[in-house]
Amino acid sequence: MNYREDLDTPCLVVRKSALQKNIDEMAEYARQHGISMRPHQKTHKTAEIARMQMDAGAVGVTCAKLGEAEALVDSGAVDDVFLAYQIVGPRKISRLLALMDRARVSAAVDGVEGAQALSDACVAAGKTLDVIIEMNTGLNRAGILPGEETERLAEKVAAMPGLNVKGIMTHEGHVAKAINQDELDSYGGDAGKAMVDTAKRLRDKGIPVDVISVGSTPGSFSTTKIDGITEMRPGTYVFYDNAIFRFGRIGPERCALRILATVVSRPAPDRAIVDAGSKTLAMDPPPPDRKGHGYVVEEPDAVIARVSEEHGVIEFPSGDSSLAVGDVVEIIPNHVCPTVNLQNELFVVSDDGSIETWNIIARGKVR
């Protein structure tokens, strides 16, 4: 079979050997550094890939949303989930309590009110929830500041009867602003040090910190170099994307997921239209050193300059290209995770040409 001829477009194609290599390489890195792997599932949202990650030695998985966790636990692929997201409101808390009957669950907290509500619900249900304090090491999203702020919250949470403080976590996604490997190491190193220093403060106060968890694909080989980090939670690494391969460590050949698209119009010599627009590519901006809405593998200098819902407008800076109507191109998305969330299935291609269809069971599970 030839997937470029056999699959209808636009669709998501995954090269199985690249996927396996990405999973194995990160698993091996974690093993060599004595760090537990708890990969984030928001990138792929499929049971098959969760199983591949568990088979490669992951201790469990990370999910952002309860819905993702429910789908993956109920598929039988995973039974240990860290919810790296604040679980707020009675509906969510009751789903969390129900999930605790089907899997080992831990959850992030970053404030007294949220923690108190979880504790009260756990006490009422006769349960204890493992919680991880979320710290802000520079992304300025959720999470509290390292040092004193985290210490104060950890002391309060440790006194809550329904909760067990298991450790601390951060998503050091801000390291992606680095423009080269040295800057990446420096941002990652700062985040890692802030985590380890804060863990020491907590331990000095008698609060056990079993888990010091970091997570981001760009920071995977930087933040984790700091002694004392116990867990990593990369997500994007399974596929990689346009935002990642700019650091030079990997090239497009390691980007396991591509959008297969067909040229549907060639209205001008310097312009081609493909059947993948914003409803397929998603709308994340390119990394600072690139342009457009994705990387066209066959035409590395081309720019997907504009998208409307179902049209991708490719421009050729050289003024022309041999692409013709009916040709198929492969596009590496700027940010693979929202792209996956737009489709129902992945077409997974093996080196022998065979194609498997894997359902993206947790797509759209944003509640």
Ligand X SMILES: Cc1ncc(COP(=O)(O)O)c(C=O)c1O
Cβ closest to ligand X, residue 86 vs residue 343: 86
Cβ closest to ligand X, residue 188 vs residue 312: 188
Q: Is 233 in the site for ligand X (CB under 6 A)?
A: yes
For residue 268, the number of C-alpha atoms closer than 13 Å in the C-beta half-sphere is: 9
Cβ closest to ligand X, residue 28 vs residue 356: 28
- Closest contact distance (angstroms) between CB of 67 and ligand X is 15
Cβ closest to ligand X, residue 115 vs residue 243: 243
Q: Is the dihedral of CA 131, 82, 338, 214 positive or negative?
A: positive
Cβ closest to ligand X, residue 220 vs residue 280: 220
User: CA of 100: how far to CAs of 71, 96, 178, 189, 259, in Å?
Assistant: 14, 6, 39, 34, 37
How many residues bind ligand X, per CB under 6 A?
14
- Closest contact distance (angstroms) between CB of 215 and ligand X is 3
Residues 263, 272: contact at Cβ < 8 Å? Answer: yes
Segment (H or E) for 306: strand 303-307
Q: Is 106 in the site for ligand X (CB under 6 A)?
A: no
Query: Among residues 188, 235, 286, 312, which is the contact residue for ligand X, using CB under 6 A?
Result: 235
Alpha carbon distance 59, 232 (integer Å): 10
Q: Is 60 in the site for ligand X (CB under 6 A)?
A: no
Chain residue at closest Cβ approach to ligand X: 215
Residues 133, 183: contact at Cβ < 8 Å? Answer: no
Amino acid at 89: G
Residues 46, 359: contact at Cβ < 8 Å? Answer: yes
Query: Among residues 16, 92, 171, 254, which is the contact residue for ligand X, using CB under 6 A?
Result: 171
- Closest contact distance (angstroms) between CB of 132 and ligand X is 10
Per-residue exposure over 230-266, b if at least 16 CB sit within 10 Å of its own CB, e if not:
bbbbbbbbbbbbbbbbbbeebeeebbbbbbbbbbbeb
DSSP 238: G
Segment (H or E) for 200: helix 181-204
- Closest contact distance (angstroms) between CB of 143 and ligand X is 9
Q: Is 287 in the site for ligand X (CB under 6 A)?
A: no
- Closest contact distance (angstroms) between CB of 19 and ligand X is 15
Query: Among residues 15, 16, 40, 254, which is the contact residue for ligand X, using CB under 6 A?
Result: 40
- Closest contact distance (angstroms) between CB of 237 and ligand X is 6
- Closest contact distance (angstroms) between CB of 110 and ligand X is 11
- Closest contact distance (angstroms) between CB of 304 and ligand X is 22
Which of 264, 246, 265, 262 is CA-nearest to residue 254? 246
Instruction: Write the binding mask 203 to 222 for ligand X: x where contact by CB under 6 A, - elsewhere.
Output: ------------xxx-----
Which of 349, 338, 280 is CA-nearest to residue 44? 338
Q: Is 236 in the site for ligand X (CB under 6 A)?
A: yes
Q: Is 84 in the site for ligand X (CB under 6 A)?
A: yes
Cβ closest to ligand X, residue 70 vs residue 231: 231
Q: Is 234 in the site for ligand X (CB under 6 A)?
A: yes
Give the three-state DSSP class for 314: strand
Residues lying near ligand X in the complex (CB under 6 A) are found at: 40, 43, 62, 84, 171, 173, 215-217, 233-237
